[in-house]
Chain A
Amino acid sequence: MLKHLKPAILLTLVLTVLTGLAYPVAITGLAGALFPHQAHGSLIERNGAVVGSELIGQNFTRPDYFHPRPSATTTTDPDDPAKTVPAPYNAASSGASNAAPSSRSFIDGVLALAGQLRAENPDAEVALPIDLATASASGLDPHISPQAAEFQVPRVAKARGMADADLRAMIAHATEGRTFGVLGEATVNVLKLNLALDEASGGARR
């Protein structure tokens, strides 16, 4: 038995050093040298302060910002550590609703949210697209569809006192098509779009 155990133990230790320490440390060194921005989380700074990551969605609820998709992320309940409470866009604990398609509470929730979105955007010129009414897989989706951005244009324009056409130009600028014209879907990065909005309106608004 010992004869068989010895190479098993030794090889486990050697491979742990090779693939568990040398390999990730080497990749970290190379990544930091070649792609420092991405390696540290694609962070965005404004006026010297980090305001988020290009890749991580942020929660927006004010009418003068474009809103992201619903997020199902949670955090520990401060009153009872055994429970969780909703905390949209919690980037320290990603996750989805995992709601069943045949669940009544899920369907009722989406329909109620759709009603609320339509009420908040009474002048929308396109139909409400499904992505804006359903929670993403990560709870941190940084994107909405171009149609979901267009849906919100009249509301944001009114709140900002800006022309619809100016907002549409900004959305067009912020829209990324399918990769190579084929892969994935067209997207609008909500945080980048809202940063551009703030810039157009002359700095951050409070």
Chain B
Amino acid sequence: MNAAGILQIVLYFAVLTAAAIPLGAYMARVYSFERTWLDPVLRPIERGIHRLCAIDPEAEQHWTAYALACLMFSLVGLLLMYALMRLQAMLPLNPAGQVAVAPDLAFNTAVSFTTNTNWQNYGGESTMAYLTQMAGMTVKNFTSAATGMAVLIALVRGFARRQSRTVGNFYVDVVRSTLYILLPLATVVALVLVAQGVPQNFDAYTDVVTLEGGRQIIAQGPAASQVAIKHIGTNGGGFFNANSAHPFENPTALSNLIEMTGQLLISAGLVFAFGRMIGDRRQGRALYIAMALMLATGIIVTYWAEGAGNPALSGIDLAATDQAPGGNMEGKEVRFGIASSAIFATTTTATSCGAVNAMHDSFTPLGGMVPLVNIMLGEVIFGGVGAGLHGMIVFVIVTVFIAGLMVGRTPEYLGKKMEAREVKLAVLCILIFPLSILGFGAVAVMLPAGLAGIAAPGPHGLTEVLYAYTSASGNNGSAFGGLSGNSWFYNTTLGAAMLIGRFLIIVPTLAIAGSLAAKKIVPPSSGTFPTHGSQFIGLLIAIICVIGGLTFFPVLALGPIVEHLLLGAGTLF
């Protein structure tokens, strides 16, 4: 660890917070249907889309209709993307001559992009045609992000409304999220990324004779437009196989800062928007502080572990100086070094982005455990756009429930009484997730088809499988890439884990929204547990860590923890 590294971490939090607060204010206006400065341009387009798609903006939906619309919209998008991949060889904009994607891989990838996971069992530049990248990947990056934001807004309306039958209109919320928030941000970020060096063209791959007379074929394509929304929408599926480690996808330390900020920006902004929409900004601030504290802890542990390097390589110069990055550089890029890779790895797994600028599989055991634990905690440390905050609110419900048990009062949050129905649904959301991770993981390590994909011997092999199902169930999409996931077994089981992790959480969340919307708002009394102070923040963090710890500590002990201890003692596999 050195001063420049610490300074980068401080700078990152400063930039993020400074950008998230005004964005939060803007998003609160967007979702409250108030006038914004983009209205003159976007309002006519929005009306046109409503008319074209037969959406009645005045017709609000009961939570069940809202959930049904969400499922239908996701299903249609999934089928369209699957078709695009299967038919790409016959469609235009395919200068590299990519062939049809195999059925199991196309299923996995379509599910992956629909659920905002963006797991990559494919290499972008060696598998996908430009048209698939645009009309498939890029579109799902927008729509899956907008879906997450819509579900969150429905839940926020559940708190803000009193005795209401409806929670909003899903299609109106999706169109608004896309037009007013995602598209403008993506346009700006895409152009800045091009200025930094990310390509944006429809050229054929460039055929080069190198200085030593060799041949190099350089992949090209409309990368910047895809990469921008991949971060803004916390999607994370790379245009190129190496994702944000690829020098075309993340060319400079500055583009890296932009991508790291981009992948947390909306999730962080929504926390502030939440506070504004429920009429108590202190509530948003409290959740922001809880998330930021957990994020900072993760970054520092990763930076420390990666900066220390691999003890088995101590004969080589591992010192971090102004002349060399030092530390554990396997699977990292020189322009990022250790600190920028540690911040990226922690933020991309805290939020459900899953883009990578360094290969998590080659991190030291403890450095690689932080990304894994971030996802295991439920993707609530900012989390995916929308999905992160609605996941966090589920933990808040459990926290006020436990606090209520301690003092023997009916728990309440933001004036809504938390009764048996809400708490049961919240616990359902929390339990589905480890069930999917540990269930599929256990099956994979018992079956030959699962064991066949493991690359690393010893405890690291278990971590590879565990990381895969954690990432899929958490809709993250980053990987311990040594695992050969492009097999029939992994394509289907990971696909199933992604669907469970997305929709079996969205439906109960919307049920909570509907149930809350129908309730009265009770004014706070002397017995109300305040949810904006340090006591609440501490309790919330403790509850998240205890639930995660009780669930996953045994398997972590068999994976990264034992690997760390053995590596320190000089044992290799």
Known: A19-B138, A137-B331, A138-B242. A110 touches B247 (CB 8 A): no
B164 on the A face (CB < 8 A): no
Verify B318–A130 contact, CB threshold 8 A: yes
Verify B194–A31 contact, CB threshold 8 A: yes
A24 on the B face (CB < 8 A): yes
Q: Which residues of B contact A204 (CB under 8 A)?
A: 211
Q: Which residues of A contact B11 (CB under 8 A)?
A: 182-183
How far in angstroms is the closest Cβ of chain B from A17? 9
How far in angstroms is the closest Cβ of chain A from B115? 16
Known: A51-B211, A94-B246, A138-B242. A31 touches B571 (CB 8 A): no
What separation, in Å, do the CA atoms of A27 and B459 have in the docked complex? 46
Q: How many residues of A contact B (CB 8 A)?
A: 108
Q: Which residues of A contact B461 (CB under 8 A)?
A: 100
Indicate which residue in A129, A140, A183 contacts B256 across the interface (CB closer than 8 Å): A183
What separation, in Å, do the CA atoms of A53 and B303 have in the docked complex? 31
Q: Which residue of B lies closest to A184 (CB)?
A: B253
Indicate which residue in A5, A60, A97, A102 contacts B572 across the interface (CB closer than 8 Å): A102
B298 on the A face (CB < 8 A): no
Within 344-386 of B, Cβ neighbours of A (below 8 Å) are at 356-359, 361-365
B342 on the A face (CB < 8 A): no
Verify B211–A52 contact, CB threshold 8 A: yes
Within 253-296 of B, Cβ neighbours of A (below 8 Å) are at 253-254, 256-257
What separation, in Å, do the CA atoms of A140 and B250 have in the docked complex? 12
CB-based A-B contact count at 8 angstroms: 399
Verify B327–A130 contact, CB threshold 8 A: yes
A93 on the B face (CB < 8 A): yes
Known: A6-B54, A95-B242, A184-B335. A134 touches B329 (CB 8 A): yes
Q: Which residues of A contact B455 (CB under 8 A)?
A: 98, 100
B422 on the A face (CB < 8 A): no
Q: Which residue of A lies closest to B229 (CB)?
A: A19
A191 on the B face (CB < 8 A): yes
Verify A92–B218 contact, CB threshold 8 A: yes
B171 on the A face (CB < 8 A): yes
Verify B323–A145 contact, CB threshold 8 A: yes
B214 on the A face (CB < 8 A): yes
Verify B218–A137 contact, CB threshold 8 A: no
What separation, in Å, do the CA atoms of A114 and B329 have in the docked complex? 14
What separation, in Å, do the CA atoms of A107 and B217 have in the docked complex? 31
Q: Which residue of B lies closest to A137 (CB)?
A: B245
Q: Which residues of A contact B460 (CB under 8 A)?
A: 100-103
Known: A147-B317, A179-B253. A21 touches B331 (CB 8 A): no
Contact code string A30-57 (vs B, CB < 8 Å = 1, else 0): 1110110011111100000111111111
Contact code string A7-38 (vs B, CB < 8 Å = 1, else 0): 11111101110111101101110111011001
Known: A34-B195, A92-B218, A94-B125. A56 touches B247 (CB 8 A): yes
Which residues of A line the B interface, CB within 8 A?
4-12, 14-16, 18-21, 23-24, 26-28, 30-32, 34-35, 38-43, 49-62, 65, 69, 89-104, 106-107, 110-111, 114, 126-131, 133-148, 150, 177-179, 181-187, 191, 194-195, 198, 204, 206
10 A-B pairs in the complex with CB atoms less than 8 angstroms apart: A20-B134, A31-B190, A38-B198, A54-B197, A96-B359, A97-B331, A102-B460, A146-B322, A184-B252, A185-B253
Question: Contacts A18-B183, A19-B183 given; 15 further ones with Cβ under 8 A?
Answer: A4-B65, A15-B143, A24-B200, A42-B197, A94-B240, A99-B361, A107-B310, A126-B317, A129-B324, A133-B313, A136-B333, A137-B331, A177-B322, A178-B4, A182-B7
